[in-house]
Amino acid sequence: MSPEPGPAPQGAPGAPEGMPARILELGEELRREGVAVGTSELLDAFQVLREISWTSQEDFREALAATLAKSQEDRRIFELVFERFFFRAVELAAAREGVREEDRANLSELTEQELDALRAEIAAALRDGSEGAMRDLARMAIAAFARRQEGSGVIGVDVQRIRRALGLRAEPQPDLPEDDPRHDGLPRDALRRFEALMRRELERSQIERTGNLPPARALGELDRALPSGPLADLAAVHRVVAQLRRRLATQGMQMRGHRRHAHVDVRRTMRASLQTGGVPVELKFRPRRPKRPEIYVLCDVSTSVTSASVFFLSVLHALHDTFRKMRSFVFIERISEVTDIFEHERNFKTVSERIGSDAGVADISGYTDYGRVWSEFLVQVEDDLHPRATVIVLGDARTNGRDPRADIFAQIAARAGRTFWLNPEPRLYWNYGDSVIAAYEEFCKAFECWTTGQLEDFVRALTRPVVAA
């Protein structure tokens, strides 16, 4: 754990004076990934490291985590950074010292039978979840496949290719014999661990080949981008929602702190005065309840933006108790209300399916017609819109050459208090091709929204309690 990761080696590897520098570098790296590591945290880390033995990696990591990462989210980032940081440190030292692993040369070309044996062995290790066996087998698999075909040079691609060649899948594979561990499907997290091990092995051999470290990639955006595939996982929704909930709760507290026009709560003041013999020594105030907004959401569900829309709707519905009232509509060519679906179904996948089938938008041409959508929306909610209502539109504003009818949109915006537009495309692509967002942007506030971070910012802006004047 002690070798030098930096480009400028100072001090012999393993020298105790190298360690503080490493910890500081780790702290620096964590800051780059957005974990708030203060000087006091680093001081604590040093203090803690005096108390534990450094030889146990578990203790070492836990001790650092306890002082540096102070929320679950931070902890997740810490694990990733810690892994990468020390892995790279060790590898670089090995590359510099010229330490090579020769043993992989003696793995000769595998025959088809041997390959089958390897497959079965890996599957068994995955089922039993034994870390050590998995690590060894990951190496063997990589060595075996490196000999059969050229690597693509992109580690992620190679990992997936090897996994497919080994026939490792989480779904049951009923055509395999009963006693094959793959018959009932492999545990998903073991599979993920195995992939991580392969990735690490590939990285190791890459470093060994080039004798240098590949540039460090920020963890950030890749891990935090909005799920884009139809398989978009529930975990992502949960993560965003859990965080938002927490932040929102904090926000309410902050607002409660501002007692500008405090109303005296007579009943509680009288009760409190009993303690002091009827003299109201202590005034009790009515707590301030932040006003909750009323929300109308319109989501484009044409193929280009479906998953972003469904994701966004799920997030909003999971937060529905933050709003006073919430109605959601989806549209492609015409609109249809889906508030009920979200109220009764919490499973992300089912919701997507039901929106596709029941919502009555699937049977039309599939081209968005914004003009028609606006007029239908206006007819449906005209009487309900009022200055305290918020209208949110999620869509890419691509009209397929039809009339954008910005005039009707302007009417909607005029009736509602606030109007927001979320565009799941990066700002760079706005107003190119058939995108007409500029026409609508005059009447609303447009946000780009393609990472969870941006989504979070938006929801935070949306739910910021409106303090009544």
List interacting residues with another protein (CB under 8 A).
Answer: 36, 38-41, 43-44, 47-48, 51-52, 58-59, 62-63, 65-67, 69-72, 75, 234, 238, 242, 245-247, 249-250, 253-254, 256-257, 275-277, 281, 346-347
For residue 426, how many other CB atoms are within 10 A of its CB?
A: 11
Pairing of strands 445-448, 389-394: unpaired
* C-beta of 212 vs 350, nearer to another protein: 350
CA atoms 264, 270, 271, 277: torsion sign: positive
The rounded distance, in Å, linking the Cα atoms of 455 and 240 is: 9
* C-beta of 177 vs 277, nearer to another protein: 277
Beta carbon of residue 314, minimum distance to another protein (angstroms, whole number): 11
Q: Which residues pair with 328 in a beta bridge?
A: 297
* C-beta of 36 vs 364, nearer to another protein: 36
Beta carbon of residue 159, minimum distance to another protein (angstroms, whole number): 25
Structure tokens at 15: 């020298």
* C-beta of 287 vs 433, nearer to another protein: 287
Alpha carbon distances (Å) from 346 to 178, 234, 236, 310, 452: 35, 10, 14, 12, 20
* C-beta of 227 vs 424, nearer to another protein: 227
Beta carbon of residue 39, minimum distance to another protein (angstroms, whole number): 8
* C-beta of 154 vs 266, nearer to another protein: 266
Crossing angle for the helix pair 18-32 and 72-97, nearest 10 degrees? 130
Beta carbon of residue 162, minimum distance to another protein (angstroms, whole number): 28
Q: Which residues pair with 446 in a beta bridge?
A: 421
| Coil, helix or strand at residue 294 | strand
| Alpha carbon 442 to chain centroid, angstroms | 31
Helix (H) or strand (E) holding 77: helix 72-97
Q: Which residues pair with 304 in a beta bridge?
A: none
* C-beta of 256 vs 427, nearer to another protein: 256
Beta carbon of residue 346, minimum distance to another protein (angstroms, whole number): 6
Q: Strands, E, within 402-452: which ranges?
A: 418-423, 445-448
Q: How far apart are the first and last CA of the chain?
A: 59
Helix (H) or strand (E) holding 336: strand 335-337
Beta carbon of residue 251, minimum distance to another protein (angstroms, whole number): 9
Beta carbon of residue 218, minimum distance to another protein (angstroms, whole number): 23
